[in-house]
A and B are shown apart, each in its own frame.
Chain A
């Protein structure tokens, strides 16, 4: 791991939060990263500095400098944790690493997380991919519909992006893997629990399944995590297909968030029985039926242009990113 990557973990990860010491929140890291760029420094520099040196270099207050020094003081303990996970085949990739999900960096800018835990082959991130999202409660008809679309997607050599939850997520994973496809999963809960399954472990080992998560590998499910996780799926995939959405559910809010931010084109099953699906289509999701295929995906621009009549697109101020910002 590079020194900058180490520094990002030391400052931002909550792997090793003791009493009275808080890691930097994503927003705080964002500010710090900006300052570092401004001062022509790199995160690793902070590891060797005293409190006074930090105050001077960053022109920050004593309290903040002390917090950094305290966090750096936990370095050794933190890397005990890191090596523990490493020994289970769970690694960390930070924004300072080239292998970090680059589509996330491009689409989410400063708001993408400082690091991900992952298991599997990060090269999968380079594949063209389509996300599949949907309810946890799926009927036989829902499953048939999703299976057909996933198979078509896999047949055209696209990877599947999923959230790894029960229902629609699991179906896309299983169908894709069993038909020789590749799957990228952004998990909202315990990666370790996921890795108890023999089939999952085998797929990860073979490089067919890549698991990523911002939460600690042994953490349980948390709604906040799940909501945050949605945008990683939309940022990673070239397009997302929503199979079935129920108002106020995770899929619903994910699609809504994407309709607002337009990370990628979102398709939605035009099924007359699912009024919530129809509502999303009304708000801008692209209606599809069982004949849909990835071969005629809409580009991001085409998708955005669907909205331009309604609203003036805000200037997206995605700046040139440095490696760690």
Chain B
């Protein structure tokens, strides 16, 4: 049995290095008041407090569970006794805040949170800060820079400024967040008489150096060993998704307690959670596309061990504080070792033993490369959008959408970079974008450097799956903790598996069935794109909810669609026809549908061919209703306005007297849904009442990939 490492169990450390005895005396007094008579400081805690109190920029890099919050709780207590202002703790995640709020309340600190969950109470909280009634306020960067907080900030005395998860302000960190951009600038300007305490559990040398540079001179660095004794690591190579589904199904109940399964995409979370549920395992998805309220309920249930597994993206990440998580399974590779370390660090805080199982598959590298390649907007887009703004006396998003054939999300992404770098500013009511007085430049060199580092870090992560050395030591060494030794309890150290890396046939079949079965809905568009006046017009008779067989290119049907579409044979394989018919069977019976039609193409007959075979398989008739003028390929149209316009000008009904009351509208690959929307609309104009879209694959990434 390894020793119990507990959060508030203040183990006897070495005698702290005291530079200012009077501060030490006071700190010891408060420590005993807050944590009991026998409490002593853990290695480095006192030194960090003393540094903070003597106005040094203090950077604490210590493993989760070391007691970073003790440092600022205690410092706050002392500063408040001295008559200083409120402690502002900037923290990126809601879950983390809730946990810390509770911890702070136990210590009799008057505290509150400022984030999106307390919308109604916000004015009260801000007023309490103005009246100097609060000791600590936890705030998200988004809220901190929102106008209601900013406008009252001038009336608030800030005593101590704490930046939690400080690696987020480093461009070189594994988890740089744009919302931290403003914070970074404030820190750069912050006068030296305001104490700054930055904390993180996950920073390698490069990030630490960057933070030190940002904080200016005289940074006090508190850095301790990162090894987590209670974690037992195993790595299992499972190229196919089916196998990984099967593995989790077979093994999850062999692990006692509850835990987290990390996926890279929201889609994977949903699918895997549903699969486990169907097989009697209480697993629930948790990611950024789910409503806040739902997430809070899930957190609550998880905390009370009512859930076996949270199937989560990185949304469940930093600082989540449940101390009896007994396993973390990675369904896919995290993007780098730092994320990996952080995620497995969720487990086993108060347990003697917890498992960290890394499954990795063949698609992981593609997904990770996608993240890296799409992290920064391209030079061309950025320059063009900037120039467009610079040439005008204020522009709206709508202006940009009309001006550019670029996805709205892409425009927004470019804008967020331009704003973060201070090249563009926003005025509200109404929202207008202006170029600032700063001269624009596209920092390709920096973006390339960051992308290169991310690729290296990905390689480091991949290397973990090959190493035969101690997995814990490998991980921690990648975070530049040179003190790490062999853990003696990972699979490589022990030379034996905790859980088998082989599977039984039964679970593979279950997984395969499931993955084949999951189809996607095609949500109908209900509004036309904004017109020149910025109005959105409702589509009078939108399509019905449609069916899509697969994610384009994804293992199973998605892969088949990709192969067949470009095979040159001009024919989708029979398997896809059978599968299509199977999916449509219920719908055809339920809705009493007699006809199928298809989206015409001037370039290829592959869709017509498929629709005809599908109709035959379903036992209904295929009608050739639509035709098309020459236009540009829809996939070259990047935003709603252009996609819809392009489709609208191209398609027409060639024989209106044949249009039936109900019809299934077939296309091969759906992306923006404008083609299906426009074709459906033209059919309804000719008297059709219900149009049911059907597509073989979805390539939009909408809800599809759901990369986080």
The chain A residues found within 8 Å of chain B, CB to CB, are 1, 3, 6-7, 10, 15-19, 47-48, 72-84, 86-90, 119-120, 192, 195-198, 201-202, 204-205, 211
Q: Is the interface of B mostly helix, strand, loop or mixed?
A: loop
Q: Is the CB of B193 within 8 A of A48?
A: yes
Known contacts A48-B55, A48-B193, A75-B191; is-contact A89 B154 (Cβ 8 Å): no
Q: Is the CB of A88 within 8 A of B436?
A: yes
Known contacts A47-B193, A119-B437, A205-B438; is-contact A79 B186 (Cβ 8 Å): yes
Q: Is the CB of B154 within 8 A of A15?
A: yes
Interface size on B, residues (CB 8 A): 38
Known contacts A3-B192, A47-B193, A205-B437; is-contact A80 B186 (Cβ 8 Å): yes
Q: Is the CB of A88 within 8 A of B422?
A: yes
Q: Is the CB of B193 within 8 A of A18?
A: no
Comparing B265-273, B333-341, B387-395, the segment that makes contact with chain A is B387-395
Q: Is the CB of B438 within 8 A of A89?
A: yes
Q: Is the CB of B393 within 8 A of A198?
A: yes
Q: Is the CB of B154 within 8 A of A77?
A: yes
Q: Is the CB of A18 within 8 A of B191?
A: no
Q: How far is the CA of A84 from the CA of B146 in the complex (A)?
A: 12
Which B residues are in CB contact (< 8 Å) with A17? 154
Contact with A along B115-148 (1 / 0, CB 8 A): 0000000000000001000000000000000000
16 other A-B residue contacts (CB within 8 Å) besides A77-B158, A88-B437, A205-B439: A6-B192, A10-B191, A16-B154, A73-B85, A73-B157, A77-B153, A77-B157, A79-B189, A82-B189, A87-B422, A119-B437, A196-B427, A198-B391, A201-B390, A201-B434, A201-B436
Which A residues are in CB contact (< 8 Å) with B438? 89, 205
Q: Is B507 engaged at the interface, CB distance under 8 Å to the other chain?
A: no
Q: How far is the CA of A19 from the CA of B156 in the complex (A)?
A: 10
B519 to chain A, nearest CB (A): 47
Q: Is the CB of B190 within 8 A of A89?
A: no
Q: Is the CB of B189 within 8 A of A1?
A: yes
Q: Is the CB of B194 within 8 A of A75?
A: yes
Q: Is the CB of B157 within 8 A of A79?
A: no
The chain B residues found within 8 Å of chain A, CB to CB, are 55, 84-85, 88, 130, 150, 153-158, 161, 182, 185-186, 188-194, 390-394, 422, 425, 427, 434-440
A-B pairs with the 8 shortest C-beta distances?
Answer: A89-B437, A18-B155, A76-B158, A119-B437, A89-B436, A47-B193, A89-B438, A6-B191
Q: How far is the CA of A73 from the CA of B154 in the complex (A)?
A: 11
B469 to chain A, nearest CB (A): 46
Q: How far is the CA of A195 from the CA of B390 in the complex (A)?
A: 11
Q: Is the CB of B153 within 8 A of A88?
A: no
Q: Is the CB of B192 within 8 A of A47?
A: yes
Select one of B130, B189, B190, B437 contacting A195, CB under 8 A. Answer: B437
Which B residues are in CB contact (< 8 Å) with A192? 427
Q: Is the CB of B392 within 8 A of A120?
A: no
Which B residues are in CB contact (< 8 Å) with A76? 85, 88, 158, 161, 190, 194
Which B residues are in CB contact (< 8 Å) with A74? 154, 157
Q: Is the CB of A81 within 8 A of B154?
A: yes
User: Can you offer 26 A-B residue contacts whose CB atoms are under 8 A?
Assistant: A3-B192, A6-B191, A7-B191, A17-B154, A47-B191, A73-B84, A75-B194, A76-B158, A76-B161, A77-B157, A77-B158, A79-B191, A81-B153, A83-B185, A83-B186, A83-B189, A84-B150, A87-B425, A89-B436, A89-B437, A89-B438, A195-B436, A198-B390, A205-B437, A205-B440, A211-B437
Q: Is the CB of B185 within 8 A of A87?
A: yes
A174 to chain B, nearest CB (A): 15
Which B residues are in CB contact (< 8 Å) with A201? 390, 434-437
Q: How far is the CA of A205 from the CA of B441 in the complex (A)?
A: 12
Q: How far is the CA of A80 from the CA of B150 in the complex (A)?
A: 8
Q: Is the CB of A83 within 8 A of B154?
A: no
Select one of B158, B185, B394 contacting A86, CB under 8 A. Answer: B185
Write the chain A residue with the least CB distance to B425.
A88
B123 to chain A, nearest CB (A): 16
Q: Is the CB of B434 within 8 A of A196?
A: yes
B387 to chain A, nearest CB (A): 11
B450 to chain A, nearest CB (A): 21
Q: How far is the CA of A88 from the CA of B155 in the complex (A)?
A: 23
Which A residues are in CB contact (< 8 Å) with B182? 83, 87
Q: How far is the CA of A81 from the CA of B150 in the complex (A)?
A: 8
Which A residues are in CB contact (< 8 Å) with B439? 205
Q: Is the CB of A72 within 8 A of B193?
A: yes
Q: How far is the CA of A71 from the CA of B601 in the complex (A)?
A: 71
Q: Is the CB of A83 within 8 A of B188?
A: yes
Q: How far is the CA of A19 from the CA of B153 in the complex (A)?
A: 12
Which B residues are in CB contact (< 8 Å) with A204? 437
Which A residues are in CB contact (< 8 Å) with B394? 196
Counting chain B CB atoms within 10 Å of each CB, the highest count among A17, A47, A79 belongs to: A79
Q: How far is the CA of A177 from the CA of B308 in the complex (A)?
A: 70
Which A residues are in CB contact (< 8 Å) with B130? 18-19
Write the chain B residue with the least CB distance to A192.
B427
A86 to chain B, nearest CB (A): 6
Write the chain B residue with the least CB distance to A209.
B437
A139 to chain B, nearest CB (A): 27
Which B residues are in CB contact (< 8 Å) with A196? 393-394, 427, 434
Q: How far is the CA of A82 from the CA of B189 in the complex (A)?
A: 8
Which B residues are in CB contact (< 8 Å) with A83? 182, 185-186, 188-189
Which B residues are in CB contact (< 8 Å) with A86? 185, 189, 422
Q: How far is the CA of A197 from the CA of B394 in the complex (A)?
A: 8
Select one of B185, B390, B437 contacting A120, CB under 8 A. Answer: B437
Which A residues are in CB contact (< 8 Å) with B156? 18, 77
B208 to chain A, nearest CB (A): 23
Which A residues are in CB contact (< 8 Å) with B393? 196-198
Which A residues are in CB contact (< 8 Å) with B194? 75-76, 79
